[in-house]
């Protein structure tokens, strides 16, 4: 039986894409590179900040410089364009009430992850694990396994909920159950191609899956 639920952040707990795009385009503009659309930004996210910048910077461009500019902007962002998904806060509160361990496992920079979770979901998570340089980014399973260890729960008793292919791969590699959400930044076809088997169309459907026992 599941004893802990691990959540991806971007596209799963929160729609952060507009704020990510704003910080990204600000950094690109500083170097004279063309901006990217919201739709293009959506295809770039999921692999961590460096991978985002590598995808956005023109070939031969200054990835490290743009990465530094993006990180500075996004770390100090007030996340005014970010929005929680309807019903998510209520689901998290119910899971916590029932005694589940709750954690965030994201490729977002650690400081940014902590800041945005504190703003939108304060005091609901036992652990927020972002990219601090301690572990490789997902789909490497190390961060997910470390979170399970921190919660004193075996990986087999954890479920990883996420909207991306990286979450499918991470759950499988970590020996955890997985639920792929369909309100985020990837299509069902993309997730099925990654091997996803269990899907939630919306937050009520996710609640039905997680609260069934």
| 19 a catalytic residue | no
Superfamily of domain 4-15+83-210 in CATH is HAD superfamily/HAD-like (3.40.50.1000)
Q: If DSSP states are collapsed to H, E and C, what string results for the chain? A: CCCEEEECCECCCEECHHHHHHHHHHHHHHCCCCCCCHHHHHHHCCCCHHHHHHHHCCCCCCHHHHHHHHHHHHHCCCCCCCEECCCHHHHHHHHHHCCCEEEEEEEEEHHHHHHHHHHHCCCCCCEEEEECCCCCCCCCCHHHHHHHHHHCCCHHHEEEEECCHHHHHHHHHHCCEEEEECCCCCCHHHHHHCCCCCEECCHHHHHHHHCCC
* Residue in 8, 10, 15, 131 annotated catalytic: 8
Whole-model pTM: value is 0.95
213 pLDDT above the threshold of 90: no
**Model pLDDT, residue 1:** 59
> What average pLDDT is seen over the chain?
96
pLDDT tens digits for range 28-50: 999 999 999 999 999 999 899 99
Right CATH for 17-75 from 3.20.20.140, 1.10.3720.10, 2.40.50.140, 1.10.150.240? 1.10.150.240
For residue 212, what pLDDT band results from cuts at 50, 70 and 90?
confident
């Amino acid at each position: 039986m599941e004893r802990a639920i691990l959540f991806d952040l971007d596209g799963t707990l929160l729609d952060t894409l507009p704020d990510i795009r704003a910080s990204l385009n600000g950094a690109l503009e500083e170097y004279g590179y063309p901006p990217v659309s919201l739709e293009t930004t959506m295809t770039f996210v999921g692999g961590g900040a460096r991978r985002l910048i590598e995808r956005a910077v023109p070939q031969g461009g200054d990835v490290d410089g743009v990465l530094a500019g993006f990180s500075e902007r996004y770390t100090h962002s007030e996340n005014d364009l970010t929005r929680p998904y309807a019903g998510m806060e209520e689901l998290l509160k119910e899971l916590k009430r029932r005694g589940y361990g709750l954690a965030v496992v994201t490729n977002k920079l650690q400081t940014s992850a902590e800041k945005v979770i504190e703003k939108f979901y304060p005091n609901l998570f036992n652990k927020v694990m972002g990219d601090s340089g301690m572990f490789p980014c997902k789909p490497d399973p190390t961060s997910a396994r470390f979170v399970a260890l921190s919660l004193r729960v075996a990986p087999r008793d954890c479920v990883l909920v996420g909207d991306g292919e990286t979450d499918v791969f991470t759950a499988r590699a970590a020996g955890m159950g997985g639920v792929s959400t369909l309100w985020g930044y990837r299509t069902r076809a993309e997730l099925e191609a990654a091997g996803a088997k269990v899907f939630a169309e919306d937050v009520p459907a996710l609640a039905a899956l997680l609260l069934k026992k």
